[in-house]
Structure 1
Amino acid sequence: MAFGLLGSSFPTTPTTTGSYAKRGLWCNNRNLTKEYSIRRSLQYNSKLHYKGIEGGSSTSDTFEKKYLINASSGESYESELKSHDELKGTLESIRNALNSFIKFTRLYAFVGVTLGALSSSLLAVDTFSDISPVLFLKGFLQYMIPVLCMHQYVMGANQLADVEIDKINKPYLPLASGDYSYTRGVIIVGLCLLSSIGLTWMVGSKPLLWTNLITAVLTSAYAFNLPLLRWKRSTILTVISSTITLLTTFNLGAFLHMKTFVLKQAAVFPRSLLLGCLVMGCFYSVISVSKDLADVEGDKALGLKTLAIRLGVKKVFWLCISLIQMAYGVAITLGALSPFLWSKIFTVLAHAIMVFVVWNHASSVDLSSKDSLQAFHMFVFKLVYVENILVLFVR
Structure 2
Amino acid sequence: MPFSVFLCWAKLGVASIIEAYWKPPRLRPPATSHDMGPLLRWKKNPVLAAICIFSTMTLILPLSFFYHMKTFVLKRAAVFPKPLMFSVAFMSIYSLGISLFKDIPDIEGDKAFGIESFSTRLGQKRVFWICVSILESAFGVAFLAGLSSPFLWVKIVTGVGNAVLGSILWYRAKFVNLNDRASIRSYYLLIWKLLYVSYILLPLIR
Note if 1:331 corresponds to 2:197.
Answer: no
Q: Which portions of structure 1, spanning 4 or more consecutive aligned residues, are displaced by more than 3 angstroms?
A: none
Q: 2:108 maps to which residue?
A: 297
Pairwise mapping of residues 109-258 of structure 1 onto structure 2 (< 5 A)? 126-128=2-4, 165-166=31-32, 224-226=37-39, 230-258=41-69
Structure number with larger C-alpha Rg: 1
Q: 2:14 maps to which residue?
A: none
Q: CA deviation at 1:333?
A: 1.5
- Taking the aligned partners of 1:236 and 1:295, their CA distance within structure 2 comes to 16
Identical columns (%):
38
Q: 1:58 maps to which residue?
A: none
Q: 1:381 maps to which residue?
A: 192
Q: CA deviation at 1:293?
A: 0.7
Q: CA deviation at 1:281?
A: 2.0
* Residue pair 1:291, 1:374 contacting (<8 A) in 2 also: no
Q: 1:357 maps to which residue?
A: 168
* Residue pair 1:343, 1:393 contacting (<8 A) in 2 also: yes
Q: CA deviation at 1:246?
A: 2.3
- Taking the aligned partners of 2:136 and 2:3, their CA distance within structure 1 comes to 32
- Taking the aligned partners of 1:251 and 1:271, their CA distance within structure 2 comes to 13
Amino acid in the other structure paired with 1:272: P
TM-superposition CA deviations, 1:14-63 (whole Å, max 9, x none): xxxxxxxxxxxxxxxxxxxxxxxxxxxxxxxxxxxxxxxxxxxxxxxxxx
3-state SS in 2 of match to 1:339: coil
With structure 2 as the length reference, what TM-score do the two structures score? 0.81
2:90 to 279, 282, 305: 279
Q: CA deviation at 1:256?
A: 0.6
Q: CA deviation at 1:167?
A: 11
Q: 1:340 maps to which residue?
A: 151
User: Are the structure 2 counterparts of residues 166 and 371 from structure 1 closer, same or farther at C-alpha, using a change threshold of 3 Å?
Assistant: farther
- Taking the aligned partners of 1:294 and 1:127, their CA distance within structure 2 comes to 40
TM-superposition CA deviations, 1:70-105 (whole Å, max 9, x none): xxxxxxxxxxxxxxxxxxxxxxxxxxxxxxxxxxxx
- Taking the aligned partners of 2:200 and 2:101, their CA distance within structure 1 comes to 23
With structure 1 as the length reference, what TM-score do the two structures score? 0.44
Amino acid in the other structure paired with 1:356: S
Pairwise mapping of residues 300-311 of structure 1 onto structure 2 (< 5 A)? 300-311=111-122
TM-superposition CA deviations, 1:302-333 (whole Å, max 9, x none): 11000000000001100110001110111112
* Residue pair 2:104, 2:119 contacting (<8 A) in 1 also: yes
Q: Which runs of 5 or more residues in structure 1 are unaligned?
A: 1-122, 141-154, 169-175, 177-222
Q: CA deviation at 1:341?
A: 1.2
Amino acid in the other structure paired with 1:225: P
- Taking the aligned partners of 1:249 and 1:231, their CA distance within structure 2 comes to 18
CA RMSD of aligned residues (A): 2.8
Pairwise mapping of residues 40-55 of structure 1 onto structure 2 (< 5 A)? none
Bigger proportion of residues as helix: 1
* Residue pair 2:44, 2:115 contacting (<8 A) in 1 also: yes
Amino acid in the other structure paired with 1:325: E
1:268 to 76, 79, 88: 79
